[in-house]
Structure 1
Amino acid sequence: MATTQIVASPSVQGTVIKRPATSHLDRTAYLVGNPIAHSQSPVLHHAIYSSMGKRWGQLLFETDDLAGFIRYLKSDPKSMGSGVTMPFKVAVIPYLDELTEAGQAVGAINTIFYKNGPDGQRKYVGTNTDVLGIRDAFLNNVKGTPFVGKPGLVVGGGGTCRAAIYALRDLLGCSPIYIVNREKSEVDSVIDEYTSKGTAADLIHVATVTQAENLTPPGITVSAVPDFAPVSMNEKVAREIIETFLRRRNGASPLLEMCYHPSPDTAISRLATESGWQVIGGIEAMIGQGLAQARLWSGMEIDDTLRQQVSRKVKDSLAEKHRL
């Protein structure tokens, strides 16, 4: 896997953190972020490792002290690595020794894994498996690849937006990529980042309904925003743009709704269904990115049987959680 060396690494001095209970596990991975109590990631990883007959697992590490967590991660002899979620997907980068090609291209990290350097010392490597989760959610649920060569639409402006751009363009062959978001500054930040890498030529910020009406309709969409009713003028305009694009779908038109908590039944998924889009639940992307993490942490190979077993257990757990 291609990597990019990071030159600067800050001190990891921080406050003492209460260690999660790990005595029941032979090896552990973590998920660091805040808030993360709702995460299904530990359920996913338990399903993966229990299927292998291993006493391995993932623990939630909810904290505001990223530096303290990194210090703890480096001191834990059982650790396989860590997942990284908001608000640390960008903030974690300076603490790492290297980034993979995907991590560098996306500019947001959701996975830390280890490798040994030439001197035998452990290196902490950051990558982004969200891109694989998004890719696989489409490839595993859409017949053929009807979206190749068509425009892609990304709704949002955060770390998942960056991963979606990379997945749609670099892994699924979609171009150009339209970006719709309530905050122009967030889109500007994304495009500026890609501009600095010389890869922003086919990124288009769609800021008005008129603009959406005159562009070639998207053939594939990733919605990466929370489910909320638009209140501000910016939010209302963004929703109108999304509705315009959804009404003007291009062919089979699959839409991945990344929001699945507290419910996968979102306003955008309902609009998409009413307009004839094939809606794919975000749990599919979560499962795909988690399986990719497990491969990096354990070296295990992922086959269809394992994927189906894990998918069934996670979806059953999520359905029970929603029922309660």
Structure 2
Amino acid sequence: MKNLSLSHWDGVEPRPGTALRAAVLGSPVAHSLSPALHRSAYAALGLDWTYTAVECDEPGLQPYLETLDPSWAGLSLTMPLKRTALTLVDEVSDVAMDTGGVNTIVFRDGGMFGDNTDVYGIVSALREAGVVAPERPVVLGGGAAAWSALAALRDLGAREIAVVVREKSRGAAACAAATRLGVMLHFHLYEDLAEALDGADLVLSTLPPGAADPYAPAVASSGATLFDVVYANWPTRLAKAVSFNGGSVVPGLSMLLHQAVRQVQLITGVTGIPVAAMRDAARGGVERRDRLAPGA
């Protein structure tokens, strides 16, 4: 594996008239909205490409990659494959290295190139909502999603970030990511959440569905803008509380959309991505999934 900034390349060159293949891999993967997003983009771009969902666990990733032929253009990766992929690609972007995970693999010239588009997704979602230069950001959670949040905040100019975790020991990995990113972290426990939120202008919740519910009143009363990575069964209790209190909320669906936009751009090599069509597909996909699995 070689460390290469993806600013040096912009994805594969489209092959006119050639049907290429792409897929999302993960376990579980049946719930993924990536097929709807990518297929809507390919259709709008006039690309006769296929995009499927493939159930794949960590031990199965390398054998699966070895079966792919030149008809494959790229892959999207979800949990639990992002860290494993980092060790399997030939070249990796700086942001994927810094965040410790690859969620996009592009095939080009016989090689595999890895990137992390989650950071792009968060930055784009926040900028779209008018959040361009947070001064006192707070991140809820210290897992892998938090590492992407730290990278996004760094890209937005933040250099000191408060991180709230259940136990200080759970912040070790986030601390290592912060060192790679060049930002300073201030750790707090949830029992000290009020202290962490004092003066905050942006709260990024990287917690799974339901986990942030107990903290909704404190976040809502802080007056900070909320970014919530959750996009299913929207709005969450946390988002409802902030909105009810007159605060601004950036939904996780916006991040999902924009990270997929960047994936399509990298995999196809096309710059004019049909964002509106992909946004409609994302909304429709969430509505269908919520109807089929309410409360999931």
TM-score higher than 0.5: yes
How far, CA to CA, are the matches of 1:246 and 1:136 in structure 2?
Answer: 23
Show the counterpart of 1:284.
Answer: 254
Correspondence for 1:257 among 210, 228, 232: 228
Long gaps (5+) in structure 2: 5-17
Show the counterpart of 2:10.
Answer: none
Tell me how far 1:185 sits from its aligned partner: 3.4
Show the counterpart of 1:14.
Answer: none
Question: Where do residues 51-130 of structure 1 align in structure 2 (5 Å cutoff)?
Answer: 51-64=44-57, 65-72=60-67, 75-116=68-109, 122-130=110-118
Show the counterpart of 2:285.
Answer: 317
Contact 1:4 1:99 in 2 (8 A): yes
Contact 2:98 2:177 in 1 (8 A): no
Tell me how far 1:38 sits from its aligned partner: 0.7
Show the counterpart of 1:308.
Answer: 276
Please say which structure displays the higher CA radius of gyration: 1
How far, CA to CA, are the matches of 1:198 and 1:317 in structure 2?
Answer: 34
How far, CA to CA, are the matches of 2:198 and 2:75 in structure 1?
Answer: 40
Tell me how far 1:126 sits from its aligned partner: 1.1
How far, CA to CA, are the matches of 2:30 and 2:74 in structure 1?
Answer: 19
1:320 to 1:153, Cα distance in 2 relative to 1, 3 A: same
Contact 1:218 1:245 in 2 (8 A): no
Deviations 1:32-61 (A, max 9, x none): 111111111100000000001112132111
Show the counterpart of 2:123.
Answer: 135
Correspondence for 1:168 among 135, 141, 153: 153
Q: Number of residue pairs matched?
A: 277
Corresponding letter in the other structure for 1:113: V
How far, CA to CA, are the matches of 1:209 and 1:175 in structure 2?
Answer: 24
Tell me how far 1:245 sits from its aligned partner: 4.2
Corresponding letter in the other structure for 1:86: M
Tell me how far 1:293 sits from its aligned partner: 0.6
> Does residue 1:244 correspond to 2:244, yes or no?
no
Contact 1:217 1:245 in 2 (8 A): no
> Does residue 1:298 correspond to 2:286, yes or no?
no
Show the counterpart of 1:227.
Answer: 209
Contact 2:197 2:222 in 1 (8 A): no
> Does residue 1:180 correspond to 2:164, yes or no?
yes
Question: TM-score scaled to structure 2, two decimals?
Answer: 0.84
How far, CA to CA, are the matches of 2:44 and 2:144 in structure 1?
Answer: 31
Tell me how far 1:299 sits from its aligned partner: 0.8
1:217 to 1:76, Cα distance in 2 relative to 1, 3 A: farther
How far, CA to CA, are the matches of 1:58 and 1:111 in structure 2?
Answer: 14
Contact 2:229 2:251 in 1 (8 A): yes
Question: TM-score scaled to structure 1, two decimals?
Answer: 0.77
Show the counterpart of 2:175.
Answer: 191
How far, CA to CA, are the matches of 2:167 and 2:243 in structure 1?
Answer: 26
SS in 1 for 2:250: strand
Deviations 1:228-257 (A, max 9, x none): 258xxxxx9xx44x64344223xxx43222
Corresponding letter in the other structure for 1:194: A
How far, CA to CA, are the matches of 2:236 and 2:181 in structure 1?
Answer: 35
How far, CA to CA, are the matches of 2:20 and 2:111 in structure 1?
Answer: 18
Show the counterpart of 2:143.
Answer: 158
Tell me how far 1:198 sits from its aligned partner: 7.1
1:271 to 1:211, Cα distance in 2 relative to 1, 3 A: closer
> Does residue 1:205 correspond to 2:184, yes or no?
no
How far, CA to CA, are the matches of 2:242 and 2:167 in structure 1?
Answer: 22
How far, CA to CA, are the matches of 2:250 and 2:31 in structure 1?
Answer: 20
Tell me how far 1:95 sits from its aligned partner: 0.7
Contact 2:159 2:182 in 1 (8 A): no
How far, CA to CA, are the matches of 1:187 and 1:179 in structure 2?
Answer: 8
How far, CA to CA, are the matches of 2:281 and 2:196 in structure 1?
Answer: 44
Tell me how far 1:80 sits from its aligned partner: 0.8
Contact 1:138 1:254 in 2 (8 A): no
How far, CA to CA, are the matches of 2:43 and 2:163 in structure 1?
Answer: 40
How far, CA to CA, are the matches of 2:159 and 2:221 in structure 1?
Answer: 19
Q: What is the alpha-carbon root mean square deviation over aligned residues?
A: 2.5
SS in 2 for 1:95: coil
Deviations 1:271-300 (A, max 9, x none): 322333211221111110111011111111
User: Larger relative contact order (C-alpha < 8 A, sep ≥ 6)?
Assistant: 2
